Structure 1
């Protein structure tokens, strides 16, 4: 009986092979396996893309934060410049006023020096003419020498006066620079209040 069952099975198998049933069944099974492999590969590719997408989204977020920070910095710089514009204008006005004062004092000093030199020259001529009138025997060349000698002493006095006036001008400039440095506020040390 076992042999009969065995023979029946073999006959049925041959009938299936000859009819093409077995071949269709094998093809169907192979197609199902290929579909499963393809699905698994798609899942694997999707899983591999997830970290890349996470990294890309993180990079995008960081770039957006940096752009927002840069925008805030630019706005802050603009606000600082707007805050210091009036102070810069006032500093320019003060500088112009100080320069005008220095020019006026230098003109006044030059005028005073010219007047002083003119007075001393007139006095030297008067002294020379008085010496010539007192000593009619002296010749004109001696009078010129006397006049130069008289001017020589006055010349040193003029030089001393010039030095004193130059020192005064230098002190005035130093005072102007000191007041300028006190009035000018460094931009790096002050920060505007954040609103």
Structure 2
């Protein structure tokens, strides 16, 4: 009986092979295996791409954050420049005033020096003429020289007073500007905290 069953099985197998049934069955099985392999490879590729996608998304986030920080820095720099523009203008005005005052004082000092040199020349000429002229004329010349010296000394004193007055005016304007700057600086933090 076993021999008959074996013979029947072999006969069915031969019939299947000859009819092409077994070949189709093997091909379909091979196709199924190939499809499963493709699916597994696609899953594997997708799993490999996941870390790359995560890294790329993190890099994008970091780039966006850096761009936002750069924009904030540019805005704060512009705000600081806008804040200090009036202070720079005031400093320029103060410097111009100080330079003008120094120029005036130097001009006045030059005039005084020129007057002194001219007086010294006059005195030298008078001394020379005094040696030539008699003693009676020297007394008159001495009194004139004394009067001229007094006048020159008074002029020097007046010029020194004017120079001192200009210096005190310049210093007082500097003090006023510094006090104004300090008051502006003291007011700005309070306004910024209230605006926040």
Tell me the TM-score normalised to structure 1 length: 0.71
Task: Give me the whole-angstrom Cα distance separating, in 2, the residues matched to 1:130 and 1:33.
Answer: 139
- 1:66 maps to 66
Task: Please show how residues 119-158 of structure 1 align to structure 2 within 5 Å.
Answer: 119-134=119-134
Offset, 1:119: 1.1
The equivalent of 1:106 in structure 2 is: 106
1:134 Cα deviation (Å)?
3.1
Q: How many residues align?
A: 150
* Larger RCO of the pair (alpha carbons < 8 Å, separation 6+): 1
Which residue of the partner structure matches residue 9 of structure 1?
9
Equivalence map 1:1-195=2 (5 Å): 1-134=1-134, 193=192, 195=196
Q: Distance in 2 between matches of 1:130 and 1:51?
A: 112
Q: Identify unmatched segments of 5+ residues in structure 1.
A: 136-164, 186-190
Q: C-alpha distance in 2, partners of 1:16/1:130?
A: 160
Which residue pairs with 2:143 in the alignment?
A: none
Q: Taking structure 2 as the reference length, what is the TM-score of the superposition?
A: 0.70
Shift of 1:87: 0.2
Q: Distance in 1 between matches of 2:48 and 2:39?
A: 14
Give the RMSD, CA atoms, in angstroms: 2.6
Q: Secondary structure at the match of 2:14?
A: helix
Q: Which runs of 5+ in 2 are unaligned?
A: 136-159, 182-187
How far apart, CA to CA, are the structure 1 residues paired with 2:65 and 2:49?
A: 24
Please report how far the alpha carbon of residue 127 of structure 1 lies from its aligned counterpart in structure 2 after TM superposition. Answer: 1.4
Which ranges of 4 or more aligned residues in structure 1 deviate by more than 4 Å? Answer: 191-195
CA displacement, residues 50-101 of structure 1 (integer Å, 9 cap, x when unaligned): 0000000000000000000000000000000000000000000000000000
Q: Give the SS at the match of 2:133.
A: helix
Taking the aligned partners of 2:108 and 2:16, their CA distance within structure 1 comes to: 131
